């Protein structure tokens, strides 16, 4: 069963094979259609990632803003987006701002339907834009970075209000019966952290500790996706009990170095190069990349879950997608 396979990988309990999550962008499915979906029928993924939805009574804003009051604009070329409206750009707005209700009716209805349709999978409930990302979505990226220094009290107040929402979601996911929680916060740039490690440790680390301890109390594994170079804070994430670190972009961090220092102390997920090798490499280069990730990040007892470092985008050739998934299925954990 996929659920037990993932549990064993996370807990270093000798799974029979490497479990995996496709993490394929919806536009990639649109591009390849049945050629991709028919192939995937023979290689069912082990993890079913679930997302919340807006409450039943929520009405879209006329200007297209989301439930938080943030408005997105598509990036050039149609891949990705950026926030162009920040409802808490000025701190004066915080006193009257109404945060979304994590317990609102309808929030988990779609996820419940997906779970019924996917028996045997490992269910991963997402708490997206967990802390830092939600903060700069609301307050603005540059404003947030500046106020980590200049307005610490306000930043801490905002962080705690967001934390309350995240805690509510965790309780909702636990009630639904998921197996793990997937946090998402990009703390890394291509070559370093977004902020000095000291600020991460003062502001975000204690709040992530709260989230992780709550999840463990409720019997849930914890996953964190963080893009970029987060090497400096991996010891902190291990210290506060994170079970799985997802991302591991190979052009931002040295996969071999990460494995030498941290393999066996935390389960890794990802490491596949979605920037260059997946879109521009050959199928054989893709296969060797998968083998490298398993060998350097996994152990003989598990500790590695297959996934790309970021979502597989439409510029990835279909044959390379097939090569990745066949390789996850084929290659075993390293023997040591």
Report the CATH number at residue 244: 3.20.20.210
What was the pLDDT predicted at 82? 85
Cα distance between residue 139 and residue 158, in whole Å? 9
Kindly calculate the radius of gyration of the chain based on its CA atoms and give it in whole angstroms. 20
Sheet architecture: strand order including 304-305? 47-50, 122-127, 180-184, 221-226, 244-247, 267-270, 304-305
pLDDT computed for residue 77 by the predictor: 52
Inside any domain, residue 7: yes
Any domain includes 178:
yes
CA distance 257 to 241: 21
On the question of pLDDT at 36 being above 60, the answer is: yes
In a domain, 335, yes or no: no
Total number of domains in the chain: 1
Its domain, for residue 84, covers: 2-56+66-330
311: closest CA among 123, 41, 79, 19?
79
Is pLDDT above 70 for 115?
A: yes
Q: Is residue 249 part of a domain?
A: yes
> What per-residue confidence (pLDDT) applies to 181?
98
- The Cα–Cα gap between 244 and 258 comes to 14
d(Cα 255, Cα 103) in Å, to the nearest integer?
Answer: 40
Element (H, E) at 175: helix 152-176
Please report which helix (H) or strand (E) contains residue 235, including its range. helix 234-239
Confidence of residue 74 (pLDDT cuts 50, 70, 90): confident
Q: How far is CA 51 from CA 93, 156, 179, in A?
A: 28, 26, 14
The answer to whether 179 and 123 are in contact (CB under 8 A) is yes
- What was the pLDDT predicted at 275? 85
The rounded Cα 95 to chain-centroid distance in angstroms is 31
Mean pLDDT, range 195-216, rounded to an integer: 98
pTM of the model: 0.96
Q: Is the pLDDT of residue 75 over 90?
A: no
Tokens of 98: 């109404």
Residue 296: both structure tokens together: 């350097």
Indicate whether 329 pLDDT > 70.
Answer: yes
Could you give the C-alpha distances from 219 to 42, 177, 241, in angstroms and in order? 31, 10, 13
* Residue found under tokens 């540059």: 142
Residue 265 forms part of a structural domain: yes
* Calpha distance 19→7 (Å, rounded): 10
Where is 182: in which H helix or E strand? Answer: strand 180-184
pLDDT at 205: 98
Can you give the pLDDT at residue 73?
82
| Neighbouring residues of 209: CB distance < 8 A, sequence distance ≥ 6 | 240, 241
- The tokens for 166 are 């995240």
Residue 336 lies in a domain: no
Is residue 52 very low, low, confident or very high in pLDDT (cuts 50, 70, 90)? very high
Work out the pLDDT band at 336, boundaries 50, 70, 90.
low
The residue behind tokens 């979304």 is 100
With respect to residue 61, please indicate whether it lies within any of the assigned structural domains.
no
């Amino acid at each position: 069963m996929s659920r037990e396979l993932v549990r064993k990988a996370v807990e270093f309990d000798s799974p029979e094979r490497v479990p995996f999550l496709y993490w394929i962008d919806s536009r990639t499915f649109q591009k390849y259609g049945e050629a991709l979906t028919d192939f995937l029928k023979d290689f069912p993924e082990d993890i079913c990632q679930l997302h919340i939805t807006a409450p039943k009574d929520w009405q879209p804003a006329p200007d297209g803003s989301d439930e938080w009051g943030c408005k997105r604009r598509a990036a050039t070329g149609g891949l990705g987006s950026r926030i162009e409206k920040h409802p808490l750009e000025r701190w004066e707005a915080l006193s009257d701002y109404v945060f979304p209700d994590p317990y609102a009716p309808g929030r988990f209805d779609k996820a419940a339907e997906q779970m019924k349709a996917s028996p045997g999978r490992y269910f991963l409930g997402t708490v997206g834009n967990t802390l830092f990302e939600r903060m700069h979505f609301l307050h603005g990226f540059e404003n947030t970075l500046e106020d980590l220094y200049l307005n610490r009290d306000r930043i801490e107040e905002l962080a705690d209000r967001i934390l309350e929402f995240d805690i509510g979601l965790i309780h909702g996911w636990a009630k639904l019966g998921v197996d793990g929680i997937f946090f998402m916060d990009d703390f890394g740039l291509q070559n370093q952290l977004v902020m000095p490690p000291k600020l991460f440790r003062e502001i975000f680390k204690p709040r992530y500790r709260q989230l992780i301890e709550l999840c463990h109390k409720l019997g849930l594994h914890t996953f964190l996706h963080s893009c970029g170079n987060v090497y400096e804070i991996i010891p902190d994430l291990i210290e506060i009990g994170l079970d799985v670190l997802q991302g591991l972009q190979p052009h931002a961090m040295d996969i071999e170095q990460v494995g030498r220092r941290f393999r066996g102390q935390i389960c890794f997920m990802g490491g596949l190069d979605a920037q260059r090798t997946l879109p521009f490499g050959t199928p054989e280069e893709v296969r060797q990349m998968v083998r490298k990730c398993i060998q350097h990040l996994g152990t003989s007892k598990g500790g590695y879950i297959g996934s790309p470092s970021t979502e597989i985008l439409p510029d990835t050739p279909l044959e390379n997608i097939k090569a990745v998934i066949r390789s996850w299925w084929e290659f075993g954990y390293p023997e040591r």
